[in-house]
Structure 1
Amino acid sequence: MSDTDSVNVHHIVLDNVEKSFKGLAKPAVARLTTQIDSGAVMGLVGPDGAGKTTLIRMLAGLLKPDSGTIRVVGLDPIKNDGELHAVLGYMPQKFGLYEDLSVIENLNLYADLRGVIGEERKIIFEKLLTFTDLSRFTDRLAGKLSGGMKQKLGLACTLIGQPKVLLLDEPGVGVDPISRRELWKMVHELADEGMLILWSTSYLDEAEQCRQVLLMNEGELIFNGPPKKLTQRMAGRSVLITAMQGTNRKMLQKALALPQVSDGVIQGKSVRLILREGEDHSKLPEWLGQPEAYIEEAEPRFEDAFIDLLGGNPTSESALGQIMPSVEGNPHDVVIEAISLTKKFGSFAATDNVSFQVKRGEIFGLLGPNGAGKSTTFKMMCGLLVPTSGKALVLDMDLKTSSGKARQRLGYMAQKFSLYGNLTVEQNLKFFSGAYGLYGEKQKNKMADMIKAFNFTPILKQEPNALPLGFKQRLALSCALMHEPDILFLDEPTSGVDPVTRREFWLHINSMVEKGVTVMVTTHFMDETEYCDRIGLVYRGKIIAAGSPDDLKQQIATAENPNPTMEQAFIDLVLGYDKEVESG
């Protein structure tokens, strides 16, 4: 091996790489030239449709570039595919675990495929099971694992051949903050040992964990370097503003309409805004008509810089909010209530004596680690699961006895979108509006409203399966709202969606809540919980903490960390509860 070859061994080199697909106006990856080195995790970051998956598939030899050259540890992924597969680990978004095989059977299958046998297999299994903390679960079926444990098993299967290069396509999607932190710890350890790792993500807090990021948008590389370098550009432009009157939702809507504001999100009782370059933030209260509002500078985040680099938040008002009617009723009315709600599977209590109330026009968030019982609780609240004991009430109706009547008032958006993949966008809208009892002129008008609000006209004849995730999500939301429900259940509605689409989604939710719609939501995305008025943190089947986002953060605040993030609150409250239980 010559010196130049040994230099190549720890690199991925891309030279003028381009890939286009039929029917798309722009290349999926355009003229990409860069080098990726081992020794630290490299982040591949960008919104939906940025070209992340296309690039990873080309690196894995599954797609051929139209032009340019790719070398992965000195090998051409197409010409040297056999040699490359011997040193490459690739974990796609939908990793191929066999759900009806146990943890150990999945590992055996991947070891067979990799030709890892005998003593070597025994040693590597022991190492991987310890590394992923799955030793206690070897007999459990993969289908029965929580989301975080599935990702860990997927990673273990990918690592069986002891690859030199690891390609991870959005491994953090749908995984709670604790499992995500564990995944990161593992991947950092592997990188420290010299493995070349590329982690693709649309979660921008994950990008901050990388030594370097490739930031892509619409196939083009728009930034390449340490995340801090991009974040520092935002110094002095990120602020927190707290209103003395009115709601933070109203203030956000007003702020986004200002030409001086590039982006805004809700953060607890405040609104976090990014100002365009050269604007003076001391004038914000005046622009917002809130002279008493309190302003402080906020620590800039990578997400602020990312949105700013894309030109700011593209949507400043919700077209959906304009077509939804106002909900009649008293804002103090309790419209959703759980009373000693319990669900047992055999002797195991997935939900254990849970009680809470949600008032009209509130956003109530159910949070919790994978497998903690929040989905079970959520499904009982919207009538999809029958409780073992206790009650789930919506508008004072028991979902066990009057579910038909209650369902007319509910909208439900499932975690795995319940769209029909083989019907077009237009046919899905027609089917769901019909299922909710709309027909004739009323149905036609409602469909026209939704098509206009969500800009569906260009994609009406397409099937949802072919659409990017953001479009599927908009379609699922519009299908859930056809009958103008006054209560909306959202089960991880933005899992895997990029920050731009997520902002648009919450803009719609906020505008509906301002009209009196009540929302109950589950999410693993901690920034999203800031939009909730109140949160119930579910763990081991119980609600272990409840209150506003700021209440939960204050519960773990210390002199060293006076302003913890929601992610830190989630992790500390769960780990603190474990300690309490262990100490009895």
Structure 2
Amino acid sequence: MTAMATALDTTPFVRLTSVTKRFGSAAPALDAVAGDILGGRITGIVGPDGAGKTTLIRLMTALMLPDAGSVEVLGYDTRSDPAGIQASIGYMPQRFGLYEDLSVQENLDLYADLRGLPKSERSRTFGELLEFTDLARFTTRLAGKLSGGMKQKLGLACALLRKPRLLLLDEPGVGVDPISRRDLWKMVENLKAEGIGVVWSTAYLEEAEACDHVFLLNQGRLLFSGPPAEMTGRVENRVFRLSGIRGRRREKLAHFLEMEGVVDGVIQGEAIRLVMKPGLQPFQSREATGAYCAAVTPPRFEDAFVDMLGGGPGGRSRLAETQRAFASEDGRSVIEARGLTKRFGDFTAADNITFDIPRGEIFGLLGPNGAGKSTTFKMLCGLLTPTAGDGRVAGFDLRRDAPAARNRLGYMAQKFSLYGDLSVIQNLNFFAGVYGLAGARKRERIALMGEIFDFRSVLDMSAKDLPLGVKQRLALACAVLHEPEVLFLDEPTSGVDPITRREFWTHINGLVEKGVTVLVTTHFMDEAEYCDRISLIYRGRSIALGSPDEMKARIASEDLPDPTMEDAFIALVQGSEAKDAA
């Protein structure tokens, strides 16, 4: 760390004084937010969608001004000297403006021109950044052909062309797999060691734990400011891991969540994780039909956040309660993949993918960005025709009967796929018609979705104007209107807040208890714990197949006796790379 950086460590790089920002007549996007951001450390701006994270970062860039209060960045006031700020910072917006029809090198050249990087410095700077981001092998590849993680690395390189004193990163980890996200964190840690101040905004609360200091926002208000350990300390000795559970974990979790004293709960492999109210412990059962024992486990930042908000949504799913039940059919698989292969020209996106999913199971497809999981997912949905191999869903052959199969399944796309210019009620009416609902049945199901997902106040609002969490609720509502027996969910909770995520999984768990079969993709490793089994896909191939606990057990060691699902994901992918290289 340089002497200059050391001297500046005690002087705020950013000073926020009662910052308030409104857009129209709605509630403030930011409401009297105050605090200091220092150099030489990573400051997290943490909170769910709509919390005010992007607004706060844009205020720091001087691209917008506060309605009240003040923002001072590197000694410059945003009102009086925006140019001084913008010359001294690096900024990577949430949707970074890469030119997808330009190569990696052409993007760097363009941003070097925009940033005024002298020609004499470019060769050295490009070389350092390409090595730093591990993109040196891909300089001729079009940006549009990069994986999500590689796009984020290129965006970071463009933001660092002129090394800034303050780097502002707006949700760089969204939609990025655990390996790419870990790579991004290593890069940022290196920048921090040079004395650069880094601001990293995120809706992923597990990322908050990697920050030195956190500003926790919710609905424009600052709920907490301090080290993440101070936040997690609030629920110390109140988080329990229930092991040895017999019977169906999802049913048990729903029961626990309705018990007095339980603040929150999630499935963790074969166990259940509960957050209790102060002074209370889970009842320890020794009954022969349902024995389990509870042990205190280290708290997470998310545990404390959900506790601060008053707890999760409970274990009851009205959606599942109204869902017709699908009886088991002698163990016959509902989804079958037999050697599924998809080639695009000379590129094999999915290679010989094989698995069976019985009724009433949650099956997860995991893998790094660009690994082939979305291609596999789309083949099983009937949206892509396999080059080789076969797939069956609900008894229908996907090559011959894809349209008929689609009427038996519900599909929720990774990117919001409803009609943005149609209102909520118009989307519900449209998809009800697509799925063959009519008359009284159609009116009944639409009214039920409006009640379950609380759409009554937004029925006439255009879908594109909805908050992300409400958009995702609408997408799920449209996918289940016709009571499908198979549900395809492609990253259904990406970017939404923890309470909405829990609400989604309460519905999903409840539907599975009614015999619905679920195929899900996710980059949230804690969500992978809800799956009964997982196929880990890398470079187009399935490199591991089993339950979450089986995958964690494969990489457990004396040095890592209790690995997380993220540990397993990274170790199994790296093991596959080493095997291919041998």
Which category of TM-score, normalised to the shorter sequence, fits these structures?
Answer: over 0.9
Contiguous gaps of at least 5 residues in structure 2: 1-6
For residues 113 and 324 of structure 2, the distance between their equivalents in structure 1, rounded to whole angstroms, comes to 59
For residues 195 and 330 of structure 2, the distance between their equivalents in structure 1, rounded to whole angstroms, comes to 58
For residues 136 and 364 of structure 2, the distance between their equivalents in structure 1, rounded to whole angstroms, comes to 33
Q: 1:547 to 1:257 in 2, by over 3 A?
A: same
Q: Is the 8 A contact 1:243 1:251 kept in 2?
A: no
Say whether residues 1:350 and 2:349 are aligned partners: yes
CA-CA distance at 1:329 after TM superposition: 3.6
Say whether residues 1:230 and 2:231 are aligned partners: yes
Tell me which residue corresponds to 2:3: none
Q: Is the 8 A contact 1:331 1:516 kept in 2?
A: no
CA-CA distance at 1:328 after TM superposition: 3.2
Shifted more, 333-342 versus 5-14: the winner is 5-14
The residue type paired with residue 285 of structure 1 is S
Tell me which residue corresponds to 2:57: 56
Any idea what SS the aligned residue of 1:232 has? helix
Residues 287-336 of structure 1 deviation map (CA, whole Å, 9 limit, x = unaligned)? x9976222222121111111111111134421211222112342622010
Residues 358-406 of structure 1 deviation map (CA, whole Å, 9 limit, x = unaligned)? 0000000000111111111111111111111100111232111111111
Tell me which residue corresponds to 2:4: none
Q: Identify which of 14, 17, 40 aligns with 1:15.
A: 17
Say whether residues 1:285 and 2:285 are aligned partners: yes
Q: How does 1:174-573 map to 2 (within 5 A)?
A: 174-242=175-243, 244-281=245-282, 283-285=283-285, 292-330=291-329, 332-573=331-572
TM-score, normalised via structure 2 length? 0.96
Tell me which residue corresponds to 2:118: 117
The residue type paired with residue 121 of structure 2 is E
Shifted more, 74-83 versus 174-183: the winner is 74-83
Tell me which residue corresponds to 2:88: 87
For residues 344 and 275 of structure 1, the distance between their equivalents in structure 2, rounded to whole angstroms, comes to 50
CA-CA distance at 1:22 after TM superposition: 2.2
Residues 485-536 of structure 1 deviation map (CA, whole Å, 9 limit, x = unaligned)? 1001111111122222111111110010000000001111100000000000
For residues 305 and 245 of structure 2, the distance between their equivalents in structure 1, rounded to whole angstroms, comes to 30
Q: Is the 8 A contact 2:29 2:219 kept in 1?
A: yes
CA-CA distance at 1:264 after TM superposition: 0.2
Say whether residues 1:71 and 2:103 are aligned partners: no
For residues 65 and 545 of structure 2, the distance between their equivalents in structure 1, rounded to whole angstroms, comes to 51
Any idea what SS the aligned residue of 2:469 has? helix
Any idea what SS the aligned residue of 2:77 has? coil
For residues 356 and 227 of structure 1, the distance between their equivalents in structure 2, rounded to whole angstroms, comes to 41
Say whether residues 1:131 and 2:132 are aligned partners: yes
Q: Is the 8 A contact 1:89 1:159 kept in 2?
A: yes
Q: Is the 8 A contact 2:317 2:506 kept in 1?
A: yes
Q: CA RMSD in A?
A: 1.7
Any idea what SS the aligned residue of 1:342 has? strand
Q: 1:376 to 1:32 in 2, by over 3 A?
A: same
Q: Is the 8 A contact 1:331 1:360 kept in 2?
A: no
Q: Is the 8 A contact 2:336 2:355 kept in 1?
A: yes
Q: Is the 8 A contact 1:46 1:52 kept in 2?
A: yes
For residues 343 and 139 of structure 2, the distance between their equivalents in structure 1, rounded to whole angstroms, comes to 24
Any idea what SS the aligned residue of 1:149 has? helix
CA-CA distance at 1:206 after TM superposition: 0.8
Q: Is the 8 A contact 2:171 2:200 kept in 1?
A: yes
Shifted more, 321-330 versus 107-116: the winner is 321-330
For residues 112 and 560 of structure 1, the distance between their equivalents in structure 2, rounded to whole angstroms, comes to 48
Q: 1:325 to 1:7 in 2, by over 3 A?
A: closer
Any idea what SS the aligned residue of 2:285 has? helix
How many residues of Structure 1 are paired with residues of Structure 2 in the alignment? Answer: 576
For residues 456 and 242 of structure 1, the distance between their equivalents in structure 2, rounded to whole angstroms, comes to 38
Q: Is the 8 A contact 1:39 1:191 kept in 2?
A: yes
Any idea what SS the aligned residue of 2:526 has? helix
